[in-house]
Structure 1
Amino acid sequence: MPAKIDFTRILLPVDGSDYSMQAALAAVEMARLAKGSIVLLHCHRPVPTALGEPNFQDLTERYAREAAEMLAPFRELLVRANVPYTDKIVGGPTAEVIVEVAELEKCGVIVMGTKGKSGLESLVLGSVTHKVLHTSPCPVLVIR
């Protein structure tokens, strides 16, 4: 029997790219059909604690401002679509953060964009999408 995918709680990790916006549009449609909600996630680089003050606080505030600006069009899309959502801004290794948030938020599916790299390029660069596909606790829908 095929596994059921729960579209009532969708994790949508975004990085501000056109690929993320395409994933957001797909996630909105899925959430509408399932009468579900979206967890909007942006992951930034961790802030090194060794920076000391005031550098640590300055960098933390800069990351927060940049994330808020980057998330604005996604928030607007979700509000216009009347899809309930929460958002999270988390620092750390992107793939690991996505998987951890999916687990903690009890998401039924992750919808994410990808540039669609293949072959040697994806092996050398590593791929967040590839890592998420192999470590996710739930199904992953990749939008190109």
Structure 2
Amino acid sequence: MKLLVLYDGSLFALRAAESAAKLVKAMGGGEVTLLQVVEFWETGAWGFLTLPDEEQEKLIAQAKEKALADMCKAEQVLQEAGAKVEKVVLIGEVVPTIIEYADQMQPDLIVMGSRGRGPIKQLVLGGICHKVLQLAHQPVMVVK
């Protein structure tokens, strides 16, 4: 079984990883990719200021490092269930990046938490969960 677990560091994402771990354990093992997408805009890092390339690269490297560290607890839960785990951090617009990665990876199942960014951001940005459900070409399991 090959799973793609979407992870953003939230409690809901950890619950999704725990549910994926239960699936892996029930199946006697599997491969799990933990994916976190960090959003940067072309006009600069997290805003409208244009930063020099070196500064942008430094901020991106720091964001990737933090994202990888955030995934350690989920990685541990999955490994304890017998999963072979790969951690992936990508930079880009969240939903299109998830869909593109899933299309390349071809997982048997995408597992994600029902919330992550919080209710205010979800209202402003639209629900990432809802968009992934609409656009994914693979089965999606949403964990509350």
Choose the corresponding residue for 1:45, options 29, 39, 43.
Answer: 39
In structure 2, what is the Cα distance between the partners aligned to 1:92 and 1:124? 18
How well do the aligned residues superpose, as a CA RMSD in angstroms?
A: 2.1
> Do the aligned partners of 1:47 and 1:59 also contact (CA within 8 Å) in 2?
no
Quote how far apart the aligned CAs of 1:97 are.
1.5
Q: Which amino acid aligns with 1:70?
A: D
Q: TM-score, normalised by structure 1?
A: 0.82
Choose the corresponding residue for 1:25, options 8, 11, 18.
Answer: 18
Quote how far apart the aligned CAs of 1:46 are.
2.4
Q: Which amino acid aligns with 1:112?
A: M
> Do the aligned partners of 1:47 and 1:56 also contact (CA within 8 Å) in 2?
no
- The number of aligned residues is 133
Q: Which amino acid aligns with 1:100?
A: E
In structure 1, what is the Cα distance between the partners aligned to 2:41 and 2:60? 7
Match of 1:64 in 2: 64
The 1:101/1:23 distance shift into structure 2, 3 A limit, reads same
Provide, for residues 59-111 of structure 1, a one-character-per-residue CA deviation record: whole Å limited to 9, x for no partner: 12211221122112112222222211212100111111111111111111111
Alignment of 1:84-99 (within 5 A): 84-99=84-99
Alignment of 1:3-18 (within 5 A): 8-18=1-11
Secondary structure of 1:131's match?
Answer: helix
Q: Which amino acid aligns with 2:21?
A: V
Q: TM-score, normalised by structure 2?
A: 0.82
Secondary structure of 1:104's match?
Answer: helix
In structure 2, what is the Cα distance between the partners aligned to 1:52 and 1:140? 39
Alignment of 1:128-143 (within 5 A): 128-143=128-143
Structure 1: gaps spanning 5 or more residues: 1-7
Quote how far apart the aligned CAs of 1:124 are.
5.0
In structure 1, what is the Cα distance between the partners aligned to 2:24 and 2:94? 23
Q: Which amino acid aligns with 1:42?
A: Q
